[in-house]
Amino acid sequence: MSTNQGNAAEERAVEYLEEQGLSLCCRNYRTRRGELDIVMEDGQTLVCVEVKYRKSRQFGHAVEFVTAKKLQRIQAAFSVYLLDNNLNPASTSLRIDVVAIDGSTIQWLKNIG
């Protein structure tokens, strides 16, 4: 997937989630542990959103590409984000979601990790 396709998919995900009532905190947050696609707030909950895009389902659903190893990287990068922003994980409501985009279909999976 090209950078342009990735950016377009992330933009679609942000628009979709904002329509659902979430608020954008940041995009493409890079840490030494990896990158977070999107960080948003859902009420009092801080949400890390991994975006997966596939043009079609010919080679599998987008959501199938969120592996256990990828989830570990997201969790590690999210921990760094919290430290960088002086947020205490023990007193902050946290969630990791996936937005899977297959062509024109958007699927939002909450609290995957």
Q: Which ranges constitute the DSSP H helices of 20-101?
A: 68-84
* Burial classification of residue 48, based on how many CB atoms lie within 10 Å of its CB (0-12 exposed, 13-18 middle, 19 or more buried): buried
Range of the domain at 76: 3-109
CB atoms closer than 10 angstroms to residue 98: 25
In contact, 72 and 34? CB cutoff 8 Å: no
- Which residues, in sequence order, are CB contacts of 113 under 8 Å at separation 6+? 71, 74, 75, 96
Per-residue pLDDT of the chain (113 residues; tens, 9 = 90+): 456 777 889 999 999 999 999 999 999 999 999 999 999 999 999 999 999 887 655 555 556 667 888 889 999 999 999 999 999 999 999 999 999 988 888 999 999 87
| CATH code (residue 77) | 3.40.1350.10
Q: Could you give the number of structural domains in the chain?
A: 1
pTM as predicted: 0.87
pLDDT at 104: 83
Q: What is residue 67's predicted lDDT score, i.e. its pLDDT?
A: 80
Is the CB of residue 88 less than 8 Å from the CB of residue 40? no
Give pLDDT, residue 53. 81
Which of 52, 60, 69 has the alpha carbon at shortest distance from 6?
A: 52
d(CA 67, CA 54): 15
